[in-house]
Amino acid sequence: MGRYASLLDTVGSTPLVGLPRLSPDTGDGPPVRLWAKLEDYNPTGSIKDRPALAMIEAAERDGTLRRGATILEPTSGNTGIALAMAAKIKGYGLVCVMPENTSEERKQLLRAFGARIVYSPAAGGSNEAVRRAKELAEQNPDWVLLYQYGNPANVQAHYEGTGPELLKDLPEITHFVAGLGTTGTLIGVGRYLREHKPDVQIVAAEPRYGELVYGLRNLDEGFVPELYDESVLTGRYSVGAYDALRRTRELLELEGIFAGISTGAVLHAALAAAEKAVRAGQRADIAFVVADAGWKYLSTGAYAGALDEAAAKLDGQLWA
Amino acid sequence: MAVTVSIPTILRSHTGGQKSVEATGETVLEVIDDIESRHSGIKARLVKDDKLHRFINVYVNDEDVRFAGGLEAKVSDGDTVTILPAVAGG
């Protein structure tokens, strides 16, 4: 921390903090420790500042993005907010295609940053946002579609930033756990760590939404991000809203970390890995990603009242 | 081994609209074969060239079977098997 020439220079170098109360007590056995990488320390409050800035800079370098141009991106929110900040500083316009079933705070933030929002239908979730963004790109050839699901700069941001930061702060790392969306974080960090720690476990936690989000008309509309590389992962969990909320609240209650809901899903998978290590009597140092803080989800009622009622309210929402 | 299998909306035409079905088997493949014996046509939607369809994810108790042996992944009595189409996150 210190003095920076501009807000863009503050992206990355986030803290890694120990979680002594959430880590299992292994008594005289080898320690099993959990570590949280606090990505909400980034300038717009989420891990997406890393790929957003990296994608813009890559497009500037290869000449596809010129001063005054309009950027187009399908996003459930965080990438859009990150792009909006960078676009404002660098003088670009921004059009975000966002599913209508995202939190109110995300919509308000995007508007506050001056982005134009095109809504895609709730049914089909981000799939529809991707489809609509590709349509808009065809109709507006002068707009620049950065496309976080297939842009190598997304993976590179984590390969060059998040991964090295983790290894420097936690050379004894045995597991890395993060949310699976564009897959950029897991693939980028996973590749970097694997090169330096061949035995490292790379575990994905993907949100399991309500039925609405899986409402494809046919299976061929299914979507696997172009960046996804299954060979990098060693495990993948699907975590529903109830478990995600339960863990989000535990993180707040036991460690004082006010995280967004997707972090609860990630913590759920991290705790499963911790339990396996305890059972096997193996030392584990498990780092997981806190992708953002809870501010943007307060209106969903995630942090108050009965768990099952709060989880029911998330049905049909994109909460990660 | 008796397990509960959750069926996504897009495949419920095969199960008469049922959201979940009971099935037996020692592996994911055996469970799918057992469902197929009562709900003909569903296997062809799930399995292609002896592998899970690219846009289908199957989880045993929330763990993706692609990292636990694929179609040969073991299931235990009382497990929950969840079938979901692959959709975009992020």
Phi, psi for A29 (deg, rounded to 5): -75, 175
Q: What is the pLDDT of residue A319?
A: 86
Q: What is the pLDDT of residue A124?
A: 79
Q: What is the CATH number of the domain that holds A261?
A: 3.40.50.1100
Phi, psi for B40 (deg, rounded to 5): -60, 140
Domain boundary among A75, A110, A145: A145
Lookup: tokens for B26: 């020692």
Q: Between chains, do A237 and B9 touch, taking CB under 8 Å as contact?
A: no
In this structure, the answer to whether residues A178 and A296 fall within a common structural domain is yes
Lookup: tokens for A105: 């705070």
Asked if the structure places residue A320 within a domain, the reply is no
The Cα–Cα gap between A285 and A176 comes to: 9
Asked if the structure places residue A318 within a domain, the reply is no
Do residues B81 and B3 lie in contact, with contact meaning Cβ atoms separated by under 8 Å? yes
On the CB side of A285, how many CA atoms lie within 13 Å of its CA? 14
In this structure, the answer to whether residues A17 and A131 fall within a common structural domain is no
Tell me the C-alpha to C-alpha distance, in Å, between residue A145 and each of A65, A84, A126, A148: 10, 14, 16, 9
Q: What is the pLDDT of residue A147?
A: 97
In this structure, the answer to whether residues A96 and A122 fall within a common structural domain is yes
Tell me: the pLDDT tens digits for B22-42?
Answer: 999 999 999 999 999 999 999
Kindly provide the ipTM of the predicted complex, given to two decimals.
0.94
Determine the structural domain holding residue A240 and report its residue range: 7-41+162-308
The Cα–Cα gap between A274 and A257 comes to: 19
Asked if the structure places residue A154 within a domain, the reply is no
Do residues A139 and A120 lie in contact, with contact meaning Cβ atoms separated by under 8 Å? no
CB contact, 8 Å: A162 with chain B?
no
pTM over 0.90: yes
On the CB side of A168, how many CA atoms lie within 13 Å of its CA? 9
Q: What is the pLDDT of residue A305?
A: 92
Asked if the structure places residue A130 within a domain, the reply is yes
In this structure, the answer to whether residues A139 and A219 fall within a common structural domain is no
In this structure, the answer to whether residues A257 and A299 fall within a common structural domain is yes
In this structure, the answer to whether residues A117 and A81 fall within a common structural domain is yes
Name the residue among A126, A180, A222 with its Cβ closest to that of B55: A222
Q: What is the pLDDT of residue A251?
A: 98
Asked if the structure places residue A150 within a domain, the reply is no
Q: Between chains, do A225 and B88 touch, taking CB under 8 Å as contact?
A: yes
Complete domains list, chain B, with CATH: 2-85 (3.10.20.30)
CB contact, 8 Å: B16 with chain A?
no
Q: Between chains, do B9 and A213 touch, taking CB under 8 Å as contact?
A: no
Q: What is the pLDDT of residue A5?
A: 95
Active site residue A48: yes
The Cα–Cα gap between B87 and B11 comes to: 15
Question: How many structural domains is chain A composed of?
Answer: 2
Q: What is the pLDDT of residue A224?
A: 95
In this structure, the answer to whether residues A173 and A303 fall within a common structural domain is yes
Asked if residue B90 has pLDDT above 60, the reply is no
In this structure, the answer to whether residues A111 and A26 fall within a common structural domain is no
In this structure, the answer to whether residues A273 and A302 fall within a common structural domain is yes
In this structure, the answer to whether residues A55 and A29 fall within a common structural domain is no
The Cα–Cα gap between B75 and B49 comes to: 22
Q: Is the dihedral of CA A165, A170, A172, A177 positive or negative?
A: negative
Q: Could you tell me the mean pLDDT of each successive run of 10 residues in chain A, 320 residues long? A: 93 98 96 98 98 98 96 94 97 96 91 95 88 96 97 98 98 98 97 98 95 83 94 97 97 98 97 97 98 95 94 88
The Cα–Cα gap between A202 and A236 comes to: 9
